[in-house]
Structure 1
Amino acid sequence: MSGQVVIKCVEVQQPIGLFYIGAINADDLVAISFSDTRRIEVENEIERYLGIQRPISPTRIKELGGYVNTVDASFPTSIILSISSEDVIFHKDTSTLEINNKPHTAKIIDGQHRIAGLKHFVGNGDQFQANVTIFIDMDIEDQAMVFTTINLKQEKVSKSLGYDLFEYASARSPQKTSHNIAKLLNYQKKSPFYGKIKILGKATQNGEQTLNQATFVEALISYISKEPIRDRDLLKRGKKISPATKDEITDLIFRNMFIAKEDASIAIIIDNYFTAISKKWPHAWNSSERGYILNKTIGFTSFMKILKPIFISKNKLGQVISVEDFEKTLEPIYMSDDDFVTENFAGTKGITKLTQRLLIDLGLDM
């Protein structure tokens, strides 16, 4: 690799000093950038702490690697880099930065996961440019301060708000369908979920909401798609998504119903199932008392997990199961309302424990 990467940019003056904002092709950005991960180095028996970046997340890279190839992929916020003056020249007359095209030229201050995701960009003739903010000869103290300010001071967007915004999408997607079902059941007076879902992830003043919208949506999506971002992208491009195969249908119990646009039937199944649950344990389901978990994340997630083996045992995939049928199915569960409390089931381990208990009583396997 040799030569230079030339990008158009503008100078910006702020209290921290002078920096440059421009756009760079993804392949050039990947080629010249590097992440300086936080680590310990020992020299002459003396420990030194180096680097400012957190360890990279393989899960996040996989997510972004798929996202960058979707039809509406976008990284609108700036990736922040630091480059030595030995590797860059600013031409004021043309407003261009000329950067040495070699590895480890640009240290990543913020955006390492986005750049790692861009490594998976296929393109097929399309171009993906990233907007970058470039500091020249930025000292390590200022690098650390900028990184800290960006990652600790900003408030994260809640997952519930993110799913709520799928309502504006024109194309069908697993995310939009799951969001719509959550809102439908939350606002339908006869539903066991009426007023119980924290839309946007926040409870209203009456305090009756016990379940996050994101918890509901993610549990439902898991039965529709293994790759919801890819499915959404295909549908937005006007393409068809593949139905669940014979091997997949036991995991994706609602996928083929979703493809057939039977969203209403999916909603009815969820409504009937939890109606049967609310009738068997009315106090635990309707209680807003502290300590009860049936209508919260632990209870809801556990019962959503056993919905799959229930469907398989009934051999009714693709069909609507009635409240009465679900009630008969739940009869063998030997638990009272007061068993659904945090003393018995708490945290992530509580979900596993409750799920196993329910499966044992029902004589089912995952």
Structure 2
Amino acid sequence: MKDEYIEVKCFPIIQPIGKFYIGVISWKDLNKISFADQRRIEKGETNIENHFGIQRRLSTKRVKEIGEYVNFADATFPTSIILSVNSYDFDKNQRNIELSNLEYQGFNIPILKIRNDKNVALIIDGQHRIAGLKKLSDSIDFDLNVTIFIDMDIEDQAMVFATINKAQTKVNKSLVYDLFEFSKSRSPQKTCHNIAKLLNRNEGSPFKDKIKMLGNAEDPLETITQATFVESIIKYISKEPKIDRDRLKRGKKIKLLTGKDLIFRPFQNFFANDEDSKIARIIFNYFKAVELKWPDAWLKVDRGNILNRSTGFIALMRFLRDAYNSFNRTNEIISIEEFSSIFKNIDLKDTEFNPENFIPGSGGQVALYNKLKTFLVEL
């Protein structure tokens, strides 16, 4: 009898939809009993299409991301996995769930006994988290808070799923990066945020007041989002920023690069050696050279000017790696004058950075990058 049921201590909640229970269950137990009923179309004997299930298909990319995340030192799922359990399984002629009470210090604590068998608890919300947890190291305990509905009809299941997922608002990525400021440990994300903040504030910086620090422009001069800035730099610092952040949080070191890896990520060694200021200085010097070469295109925010917006900035950041590596001086700071020696060879006028020549978006970014690269002369 002990292994036949999984006991879940819980609390009853009453809301307009009815009564349900909030409890805690280990992910291993939940994995045994839970299943997802994905939305699908099946044809019956009369060739009529019938629609079944409520869940979207599993995203392998999302499951992979969660599988990595659950092994991080600060992994957490604070929101509930939502389940529906039918009280009786008529196919097997047995009860799926029983409710009893545990008396503790004068209080009655409800206990849900859920049959320890597969396909007992239908997942209404949380299938990606449960699938991702299958990548969890065996040495890690991971409890989950669950919301359990008993004998919930299909209409309510569908409406709860639709309401939760439709109401979710994607968080502004610039805000996400900004919140890394509160982190006590170093990370690629925090370093890039700090560089963005530094270059946006400092007098004389080519980025002075140009970065939308929370992704929302309060000034017409702010033409580059913080997310665009951070994501353009972080790829030169870390191949896997989330994993490197976890390594640093656990007190481990970041690998020093050599050869082709260092050419591909030229700032990783600076980051590994806690020399973030050198990364900031290189970016400052490079874009100061850009400003000196094309002062009107970089400083003016006229409509039709793409150089100081995402199209131009992303192309310039791609070209930064080529320009930096052309000096063959890895782990060194390249000066404004040295970067300027590259830009002086580029035959592009301020007025040419327009949507007619470089269409806003990825197409324009690639076109501008390729144009810049044709003028690069290795020194």
User: Which range moved further: 208-217 or 244-253?
Assistant: 244-253
SS of aligned partner of 1:195: coil
User: Which range moved further: 47-56 or 24-33?
Assistant: 47-56
Match status 1:89 vs 2:98: yes
Q: Distance in 1 between matches of 2:60 and 2:223?
A: 32
| Alpha-carbon offset, residue 363 of structure 1 | 6.6
Q: Which amino acid aligns with 1:130?
A: L
Equivalent positions of 1:55-70 (< 5 A) are: 55-70=57-72
Choose from 28, 51, 56 the match for 1:49. 51
Equivalent positions of 1:117-136 (< 5 A) are: 117-124=132-139, 126-136=140-150
SS of aligned partner of 1:256: helix
| Alpha-carbon offset, residue 96 of structure 1 | 1.6
CA RMSD across the alignment = 1.9
Q: Which amino acid aligns with 1:172?
A: R
State the match for 1:115 in structure 2.
130
Are the aligned partners of 1:32 and 1:102 in contact in 2 as well (CA < 8 Å)? yes
Q: Which amino acid aligns with 2:49?
A: E
Q: Distance in 1 between matches of 2:300 and 2:31?
A: 53
Match status 1:167 vs 2:181: yes
State the match for 1:329 in structure 2.
342
State the match for 1:292 in structure 2.
305
**Cα pair distance change 1:283/1:237, threshold 3 Å:** same
State percent identity of aligned pairs.
Answer: 51
Are the aligned partners of 1:243 and 1:259 in contact in 2 as well (CA < 8 Å)? yes
Q: How many residues align?
A: 361
Are the aligned partners of 1:25 and 1:130 in contact in 2 as well (CA < 8 Å)? yes
Are the aligned partners of 1:345 and 1:354 in contact in 2 as well (CA < 8 Å)? no
User: Which range moved further: 234-243 or 66-75?
Assistant: 234-243
**Cα pair distance change 1:17/1:223, threshold 3 Å:** same
| Alpha-carbon offset, residue 175 of structure 1 | 1.0
**Cα pair distance change 1:186/1:116, threshold 3 Å:** same
Choose from 284, 291, 298 the match for 1:278. 291
SS of aligned partner of 2:259: coil
**Cα pair distance change 1:322/1:76, threshold 3 Å:** same
| Alpha-carbon offset, residue 357 of structure 1 | 2.6
Are the aligned partners of 1:299 and 1:351 in contact in 2 as well (CA < 8 Å)? yes
State the match for 1:106 in structure 2.
121
TM-score for the superposition, normalised by structure 2: 0.89
**Cα pair distance change 1:346/1:42, threshold 3 Å:** farther
Match status 1:177 vs 2:178: no
Q: Distance in 1 between matches of 2:148 and 2:300?
A: 55
**Cα pair distance change 1:281/1:20, threshold 3 Å:** same
**Cα pair distance change 1:51/1:330, threshold 3 Å:** farther
Q: Distance in 1 between matches of 2:152 and 2:274?
A: 54
Structure 1 residue ranges without an equivalent (≥5): none
State the match for 1:318 in structure 2.
331
| Alpha-carbon offset, residue 65 of structure 1 | 1.3
Q: Distance in 2 between matches of 1:103 and 1:338?
A: 67
User: Which range moved further: 29-38 or 266-275?
Assistant: 29-38
TM-score for the superposition, normalised by structure 1: 0.92
| Alpha-carbon offset, residue 255 of structure 1 | 0.7
What does the per-residue CA deviation read over 1:29-86, in whole Å, with 9 as the maximum and x for residues that have no partner? 2232223333322223222333322332222222221111111111111111222222
Are the aligned partners of 2:342 and 2:377 in contact in 1 as well (CA < 8 Å)? no
What does the per-residue CA deviation read over 1:189-221, in whole Å, with 9 as the maximum and x for residues that have no partner? 2111111111111111x3221111111111211
State the match for 2:105 in structure 1.
none
SS of aligned partner of 1:182: helix
**Cα pair distance change 1:284/1:154, threshold 3 Å:** same
